Structure 1
Amino acid sequence: MAELPANLNEFYEETREASPSNFLMKIEKFSLLSKLFIGSYETRAFEAGGYTWKLVINFEDALKKDEKKYVSVYFSIADSDSLALGWEVNAIFTFFLHNQFSDNYSCFRGRTRRFNDFNNKWGFSNLMPLNRLKGYIVDDVCVFGAEVFVLKTQLVVECLSLVQNSATITRDWKIYGFSKLVDLWVSEEFVVANHKWRVQVYPKGNDSGAKGRFVSVYLECVSAKSFAQHQKIKAEVEIRIVIYFFCVAVDHWFRSSMDHWGHDEFIPICDMRNFRNEDCVSLRVEVHVEAIVS
């Protein structure tokens, strides 16, 4: 059984057949590292995910006689000085060791790390002990590699604001000369939860099914016309004819593609004759905003 790393949270280990896709390096005469006092080695730069990277491998501890010492490996962004102020790169990096007996690779994959001006180098401080590393050295040759997967930023942000203890806004209108209205009556705009609203009344009906038979009434969220596709506002709505005590109520999400709610067949036209006082209709709308998505 392979010896476990000193820090189990640093990486995940697996075996695979495919070679590393970003960087591959061979060290010949590996045993001379200690004699030449090369305790740490920085590789040439390689490109991955639109950025330039380098590997820094620390053999210093592992080359000592103490078999419990570990090899350390780090990934760094090589061109960080040329990046814009406040740059940030999120990446997952993998270190490879070639098993020359089975012709496959031991892969050590790290957790997602954020590289920036404060931390432009991440890696494994305790990759493996010397006695395990020796198992990858054949004829004094060691082959290793690297892959870096950069998480491209395509962040979609949405905010759902739940409205606590929101007051119910009530608006009343008297529509005079109701029987003489031909097509459409529109109220003035009013504000609820910092959004504009208005009421639309079609005295002779709005669609083919209601024309000449029903009064059509709608509440429109005027602000929703300029909403982005994802934006919406949820409101509890009640519309009533005051003297009739008839009302309709619903919870509805208002958005750019559906900026109004109401009833094509709100009340039969014939019934309206019984609830007009000197040809005046009293209309009441109550709006209670419950949530906003921005």
Structure 2
Amino acid sequence: MGSSSTEVSTIVKNWREHPPASYSLKIHSFSQFENSIASSDDKYQSRLFSSGGYKWRLIVYPNGNEEDNGSGFISMYVEIDSESLMVFTPPTEIFAELRFFVYNKKENKYFTIQDVEVKRFNALKTVWGLQQIIECVTFNNPDNGYIFEGGQCEFGVDVIVAPPLTNWEILSFTEKHSDPKFSWAIKNFSTLKENVMTSDIFQWEERNGGVLKLYPKGDSRVDGKWLSIFLYLADCDKPKADEKIFVQANIRVLYPLESNHKKVPIDDWYTEQTPAWGWARFLSLDELRKVYLDKQDELKVEVEFKVVSATKYSPII
């Protein structure tokens, strides 16, 4: 069974009323225009014009560029001035979208045609364009409206220079941490009078730290029958406006005798609006007193980090 592929065209044709924004070439006698380019490789090169901070020329082949399979068509190109490429060392590359125009008096609109692929101009490739804009037979027939009032016509181009990339972000995920675990022992748990307790700040990477907040009598949002635990990022590491940090970690209340610990995972994004994640109903206080306190009335809590994201971005807003 054979295979086949369909080539998708990137050429888009349209009509619009608005004239070209970068450059327009108006000709009062197309027949004389054709005669005049016989001694210049059958093409006409416009004077330099500016667009996007660089200088360009519009090139028109009224009888087609035979060397580029344009015979029998109007061919149009844009050439960047070589001096524009030498502004930087080493010579720069410029990316631009090209949209070509031919005015039609009958429609009172501009026929537009473009290759939607952005073109890369550099020292090795200074010219880009389209070899088959309009068939010469169609263009030369005054009834079609491209030539009007005794031989007038108009060509044009929009050169839309893509600015350099200035807005970007790089998102990475760290899976190996120098010190991924933090253990916290709370003594005399049964006699605690505090409504909330905060651990010391712990670091799992040079730039990342956090704290645990524990509510021995339950968060105010629950009925006082649950142990509540939340993981906060340290103040210096909290996301700023429009930032976010992904954290994947496990929080455990340790079982004193064996490895049957109470474990609940965190798998969430921290933001300025959501600086903490955790559980108001992490563990019932009845179960905690029966199972998870050791003989010294000590409760041990542990957090272990698995994945933490980091984002580099520009510009800093």
**Normalized against structure 1, the TM-score is what?**
0.72
Q: Give the match for residue 61 of structure 2.
A: 58
Q: Give the match for residue 28 of structure 1.
A: 28
- Alignment-mate amino acid for residue 287 of structure 1: F
From 73, 93, 101, the equivalent of 2:98 is: 93
Q: Give the match for residue 221 of structure 1.
A: 233
Count of matched residue positions in the alignment of Structure 1 and Structure 2: 283
Q: Give the match for residue 315 of structure 2.
A: none
Aligned mates of 2:223, 2:294 — CA distance in 1: 20
Residue 77 to residue 228, structure 1, CA distance change in 2 (3 Å):
farther
| Secondary structure of 2:295 counterpart | coil
Residue 8 to residue 41, structure 1, CA distance change in 2 (3 Å):
farther
| Secondary structure of 2:30 counterpart | coil
Residue 261 to residue 15, structure 1, CA distance change in 2 (3 Å):
closer
Aligned mates of 1:233, 1:34 — CA distance in 2: 65
**Structure 2 counterparts to residues 197-276 of structure 1, below 5 A:** 197-205=210-218, 207-209=219-221, 214-222=226-234, 224-225=237-238, 229-243=242-256, 247=262, 249-257=264-272, 258-267=274-283, 273-274=289-290, 275-276=293-294
The question of 1:41 aligning with 2:59 is answered no
Residue 281 to residue 68, structure 1, CA distance change in 2 (3 Å):
closer
Residue 181 to residue 13, structure 1, CA distance change in 2 (3 Å):
same
| Structure 2: unaligned runs, 5 residues or longer | 1-6, 312-317
- Alignment-mate amino acid for residue 142 of structure 1: C
**Structure 2 counterparts to residues 1-294 of structure 1, below 5 A:** 9=9, 11-36=11-36, 37-38=39-40, 39-59=42-62, 68-78=71-81, 80-81=84-85, 83-85=87-89, 87-118=92-123, 119-135=125-141, 136-138=146-148, 139-152=150-163, 156-161=167-172, 171-178=182-189, 179-180=191-192, 182=194, 183-187=196-200, 189-191=202-204, 195-205=208-218, 207-209=219-221, 214-222=226-234, 224-225=237-238, 229-243=242-256, 247=262, 249-257=264-272, 258-267=274-283, 273-274=289-290, 275-289=293-307, 292=309, 294=311
Residue 61 to residue 175, structure 1, CA distance change in 2 (3 Å):
closer
8 Å Cα contact 1:158/1:293 also seen in 2? no
Residue 75 to residue 9, structure 1, CA distance change in 2 (3 Å):
farther
After TM superposition, give the deviation of residue 235 of structure 1 in Å. Answer: 0.6
After TM superposition, give the deviation of residue 55 of structure 1 in Å. Answer: 0.7
8 Å Cα contact 1:75/1:121 also seen in 2? yes
8 Å Cα contact 2:199/2:212 also seen in 1? yes
| Secondary structure of 1:12 counterpart | strand
After TM superposition, give the deviation of residue 71 of structure 1 in Å. Answer: 3.5
Aligned mates of 1:164, 1:243 — CA distance in 2: 28
Residue 161 to residue 185, structure 1, CA distance change in 2 (3 Å):
closer
Aligned mates of 2:8, 2:269 — CA distance in 1: 50
After TM superposition, give the deviation of residue 88 of structure 1 in Å. Answer: 4.5
| Structure 1: unaligned runs, 5 residues or longer | 1-6
Residue 203 to residue 140, structure 1, CA distance change in 2 (3 Å):
same
**How many percent of aligned residue pairs carry the same amino acid?**
21
**What are the Cα deviations for residues 102-125 of structure 1, in whole angstroms up to 9, with x where unaligned?**
433221122232444333432113
**Normalized against structure 2, the TM-score is what?**
0.68
8 Å Cα contact 2:203/2:209 also seen in 1? yes
Residue 131 to residue 184, structure 1, CA distance change in 2 (3 Å):
same
